[in-house]
Chains A and B, each alone.
Chain A
Amino acid sequence: MKRIDYSSLIGFIIGVALSSVLVLLFKENPGNVLKVLSGSFLQSKFDMGLTMFYTTCFAFAGLAFSIPFKAGLFHIGAEGQIVLSAMVAAVMGIILPESLGTFGIIAICLTTMVVGILSAQTIAFFKVYKQGHEVVVAIMLNFIFAAIATYVVLQNYQNTESQNPESSLIKPVFQVAKSDSIKAYFENSAVSGFLLVAVISCLAVWFFETKTKWGLEIKAFGENPTAAERMGISAKKINFLALGIAGFFSSLVGLTEVLGSTYQYKVGFSPAYGFLGIVVALLAQGHPIGILFSSFIMAVLHKGASDLDLETQFLTRDFSKVLQAIIIFCVAGAVYINHRRKKS
């Protein structure tokens, strides 16, 4: 039984502690800040529900980063895929005829998933056929997909009843989450049945990685691609498979947002889920079950940071970015220190 590595958790705690101390520079009380950060999600069922919504999105984003990572790919393209798939989900929800009913919902889900998978596999295409580095291609695609999504929505589907840059609502028959019991329990906050999907996803990925041939092949390829290819594991297959799965999870974030929460596409709805997914994955050191927990922790913080605006004088919700940055740094540092300790 391999011992669990707590170094990233320790790094996380140090990061939070450091950030709290940092607030002294802005004449705020660290204790107060910590209280707000850690207590915000408990204030009411609604707050808890919102936190669980964030957890859902973070979990999917975390999986979207960690699976390609196991294959040796640094996948930072989730943000673009999330935005693109959300747009597709919203547009489908607007244009599909009401008469399709449940089939319509299924159609929306499937189309969105396919879009997510294919948009992520674009990165695989460039990597496999054009030797394009996945980080560069992903950064480019993030901007391109965001531009496309914004353009499509604002040009053709702008919500006429609002000044905000957002799409109209999807047709009521598709607003399935309205009758969602999880949402009802959490006082109609953003959370929905997709929370369960997230939990199942993490379990499924864990099973995939440890018990299936493809999972083992991905791991082998990630560690030593030349050896894997020599043993008959195709680089093409691994790249497209790993990124395809990642794109699938990115699309689930889009669905969680559109079908499960707002029933529309709002420009800028994502608080950088794609990038925060990286932090979630790092915190959990890539372990799918760990991602469940680390996404919850990040969600708690994210929720807490949004309250800082009101509860403090100088700190704004931008502080959540500072918090996230310091956590990234401390987790990276702690993992390294632990790595050095183990070596000697």
Chain B
Amino acid sequence: MSSNLIEFNNISKSYGSCVSLDQVHFSILKNQIHAVIGENGAGKSTLMKVLTGIVPPSSGAMVLRGKSYEPESAQDSFREKIGFVHQHFQLADELTGWNHLELVARTQNIEKKRLLELVSEKQAKFKWSLPLDKKIKAYSIGEQQRLEILRVLILDPEIIIFDEPTAVLSPDEIEDFLDFMLDLKKQGHTLILISHKLNEIKKVADHVTILCRGQLIASDSGSNFTIEQMAEKMIGRKQQALVQAGVNDTGITHDLNLLGLKLNNNEILGVAGVDGNGQEDFILKLRQNIDLLKLKFGDISEDRFRYSIYPKQDLIENFLIRHRNTFTRLGLVNKKKVRREVEKIITDWDVRPADSQMVMGSFSGGNQQKFVIGRELWHNPDVILAAHPSRGVDIGAQEKIHQALLDQKKNHRAVVLLSSDLDEVLKLSDRFVILFKGAIKGPYLKGSLDNSQISQIMNGVNL
């Protein structure tokens, strides 16, 4: 018979005037897999930070195992047997696996002998064999994740929080991981799963709590939600259907010189694959070849912060530096002409707030991305690279972006859509390839493969 393990009683958290959590009130039962879902900024991470003592709530209280629970630091949460497996690994490249385990062990006064016992015990239980003497930079992504989990397990937590654990895994690895979670549950643990992968949640979650903009929308048994219902509640409205552009038959083909891959200027070519299978290389080669062919290039990069925007400069400057050669004469730049073009982009793409002199960093992720797309399409590129175009962007803007990409086919432009989100790739592409360890498998026509086949190819099976 389950009982309340954790109670969140009207938890609120504000940072200044910004409300992260608003009277969130629900319970987590013992020995269940409890999913907490929501969009970016919904408050999931903040809630977990409150639970693990990293930040205190502004108001409200928590009850743990029937007693009042007010953690003042992460150490308090360890003592209460709560473990947190972070989404972004907190591993130092230059230090060894043992260093990381020692760090955790020594803060909890676990002696070396006991640590060795614990480590071999846990590794045996899950049939792992991590190279603990090696530095992290020698670890694969899967091994890094296992080390992160091991770090948590050696403290024998009763409650384990997993934050977006399958983000970096291939479909088969995801299956393995879901089984792993069920295994943990069988061993008596209580798991909190933070994820936006609704199909995975449907498979393993006993209970689902949905947050939207800091508020609790629903908290109910997993069987009482369909995936569509969960999505709707997450974004606050029904999802819109996409309008598919008609495909032109007459089109130009660009020979991309990438292992014989040819690109048509009236299609979206999808590039699927788990992160770390050669995407960086692919993008680099793509850019180089486009350069060689002297084609005009629209670059919606895979990481906005790293490659597309200058947060401290305003929209005009962000536009100018990208198209600097067009506005330069004799080494001098003409800022006045630029402003007109930027205003147009703001209007056409509904960038909010409509202020060309506001610094880029002040815009939300979705608006930044919309501006970037407007800027990258401004010069009528022949080829457009859209890499992870909806990363860090809420569902509303995501829909606009997807529609925009589909519209490019009408304009006789070729789109290369690279994304680790398989659903996105399959939804938008006319043809697609799959990257596996740097090799390009395909191209396949839309709808020609089922999920199981795709999964196998993503894991290197030659079909």
Chain A residues close to B by CB (< 8 Å): 211-214, 216-217, 219-220, 223-224, 226-228, 230-231, 344
Report chain B residues within 8 Å CB of A213. Answer: 324-325, 328, 331-333
Q: How far apart are A2's CB and chain B's nearest CB, in angstroms?
A: 9
Q: How far apart are A237's CB and chain B's nearest CB, in angstroms?
A: 14
Q: Would you call B308 an interface residue if the criterion is a C-beta within 8 Å of the partner chain's C-beta atoms? A: yes
Q: Is the CB of A223 within 8 A of B332?
A: no
Residue of B nearest to A233 (CB): B321
Q: Is the CB of A217 within 8 A of B321?
A: yes
Q: How far apart are A339's CB and chain B's nearest CB, in angstroms?
A: 12
State which of A211, A219, A226, A344 has its C-beta within 8 Å of the C-beta of B306.
Answer: A226
| Whole-angstrom CA separation of A124 from B308 in the bound complex | 25
Q: Which of B273-316 contact A (CB under 8 A)?
A: 299, 301, 305-313
| Whole-angstrom CA separation of A344 from B333 in the bound complex | 35
Q: Is the CB of B332 within 8 A of A211?
A: yes
Q: Would you call B112 an interface residue if the criterion is a C-beta within 8 Å of the partner chain's C-beta atoms? A: no
Using A211-B332, A216-B320, A217-B321 as known contacts, say yes or no to A224 and B309 having CB atoms under 8 A apart. yes
Kindly list 20 other residue pairs between chains A and B, CB separation below 8 angstroms, not including A230-B301, A231-B299.
Answer: A211-B332, A213-B328, A213-B333, A214-B331, A216-B320, A216-B321, A216-B324, A217-B324, A223-B310, A223-B312, A224-B305, A224-B306, A224-B311, A226-B306, A226-B307, A227-B310, A228-B321, A230-B307, A231-B321, A231-B322
Report chain A residues within 8 Å CB of B306. Answer: 224, 226-227
| Whole-angstrom CA separation of A214 from B312 in the bound complex | 18
Q: Annotate B326-344 by CB proximity to A: 1 below 8 A, 0 otherwise.
A: 0010011100000000000
Q: Is the CB of B310 within 8 A of A211?
A: no
Q: Is the CB of B313 within 8 A of A223?
A: yes
Q: Would you call B16 an interface residue if the criterion is a C-beta within 8 Å of the partner chain's C-beta atoms? A: yes
State which of B16, B299, B311, B317 has its C-beta within 8 Å of the C-beta of A230.
Answer: B299
State which of A211, A214, A227 has its C-beta within 8 Å of the C-beta of B308.
Answer: A227
Report chain B residues within 8 Å CB of A344. Answer: 16
Q: How far apart are A233's CB and chain B's nearest CB, in angstroms?
A: 8
A-B contacts, 11 of them at CB < 8 A, read A211-B332, A211-B333, A213-B324, A213-B331, A213-B332, A216-B317, A223-B310, A227-B310, A228-B321, A230-B308, A231-B322
Q: How far apart are B151's CB and chain A's nearest CB, in angstroms?
A: 30
Q: Is the CB of B333 within 8 A of A220?
A: no
| Whole-angstrom CA separation of A56 from B332 in the bound complex | 28
Report chain A residues within 8 Å CB of B299. Answer: 230-231
Report chain A residues within 8 Å CB of B313. Answer: 219-220, 223
Report chain B residues within 8 Å CB of A224. Answer: 305-306, 309-311
Residue of A nearest to B287 (CB): A230
Q: Is the CB of A227 within 8 A of B328?
A: no
Q: Is the CB of A216 within 8 A of B307?
A: no
Q: Which of B1-32 contact A (CB under 8 A)?
A: 16
Residue of B nearest to A2 (CB): B357
How many chain B residues have a CB neighbour from A under 8 Å?
A: 22
Report chain B residues within 8 Å CB of A214. Answer: 331
Report chain B residues within 8 Å CB of A226. Answer: 306-307
Q: Is the CB of B310 within 8 A of A220?
A: yes
Q: How far apart are B428's CB and chain A's nearest CB, in angstroms?
A: 23
| Whole-angstrom CA separation of A159 from B81 in the bound complex | 78
Report chain A residues within 8 Å CB of B308. Answer: 227, 230
Q: How far apart are A231's CB and chain B's nearest CB, in angstroms?
A: 6
| Whole-angstrom CA separation of A213 from B338 in the bound complex | 14
Report chain A residues within 8 Å CB of B333. Answer: 211-213, 216
Q: How far apart are A118's CB and chain B's nearest CB, in angstroms?
A: 24
Report chain B residues within 8 Å CB of A217. Answer: 321, 324
| Whole-angstrom CA separation of A135 from B126 in the bound complex | 48
Q: How far apart are B385's CB and chain A's nearest CB, in angstroms?
A: 11
| Whole-angstrom CA separation of A228 from B333 in the bound complex | 17
| Whole-angstrom CA separation of A230 from B322 in the bound complex | 10
Task: Kindly name the residue among A211, A216, A220, A227 whose own CB sees the greatest number of chain B CB atoms within 10 A.
Answer: A227
| Whole-angstrom CA separation of A344 from B158 in the bound complex | 40
Q: How far apart are B48's CB and chain A's nearest CB, in angstroms?
A: 25
Report chain B residues within 8 Å CB of A230. Answer: 299, 301, 307-308
Residue of B nearest to A212 (CB): B331
Q: Which of B332-378 contact A (CB under 8 A)?
A: 332-333
Report chain B residues within 8 Å CB of A227. Answer: 306-310
Report chain B residues within 8 Å CB of A228. Answer: 321
Q: Is the CB of A220 within 8 A of B331?
A: no
Report chain A residues within 8 Å CB of B325. Answer: 213
Residue of B nearest to A344 (CB): B16
| Whole-angstrom CA separation of A217 from B308 in the bound complex | 14
Q: How far apart are B348's CB and chain A's nearest CB, in angstroms?
A: 22
| Whole-angstrom CA separation of A230 from B306 in the bound complex | 9
Report chain B residues within 8 Å CB of A211. Answer: 332-333
Residue of A nearest to B321 (CB): A220
Q: 9 closest A-B pairs (Cβ-Cβ)?
A: A230-B307, A226-B306, A220-B321, A213-B328, A223-B310, A227-B307, A224-B310, A212-B331, A211-B332
Residue of A nearest to B357 (CB): A2
| Whole-angstrom CA separation of A281 from B301 in the bound complex | 35
Q: How far apart are B224's CB and chain A's nearest CB, in angstroms?
A: 43
Q: How far apart are B194's CB and chain A's nearest CB, in angstroms?
A: 28
| Whole-angstrom CA separation of A213 from B329 in the bound complex | 9
Report chain A residues within 8 Å CB of B310. Answer: 220, 223-224, 227
Residue of B nearest to A211 (CB): B332
| Whole-angstrom CA separation of A213 from B305 in the bound complex | 23
| Whole-angstrom CA separation of A211 from B16 in the bound complex | 39
Residue of B nearest to A228 (CB): B321
Residue of A nearest to B334 (CB): A211
Q: How far apart are A320's CB and chain B's nearest CB, in angstroms?
A: 35
| Whole-angstrom CA separation of A5 from B234 in the bound complex | 43
Q: How far apart are B101's CB and chain A's nearest CB, in angstroms?
A: 31
| Whole-angstrom CA separation of A219 from B321 in the bound complex | 10
Report chain B residues within 8 Å CB of A231. Answer: 299, 321-322
Report chain A residues within 8 Å CB of B331. Answer: 212-214
Report chain A residues within 8 Å CB of B320. Answer: 216
Report chain B residues within 8 Å CB of A216. Answer: 317, 320-321, 324, 333
| Whole-angstrom CA separation of A212 from B330 in the bound complex | 9
Q: How far apart are A27's CB and chain B's nearest CB, in angstroms?
A: 48
Report chain A residues within 8 Å CB of B332. Answer: 211-213
Residue of B nearest to A208 (CB): B331
Report chain A residues within 8 Å CB of B321. Answer: 216-217, 220, 228, 231
Residue of A nearest to B299 (CB): A230
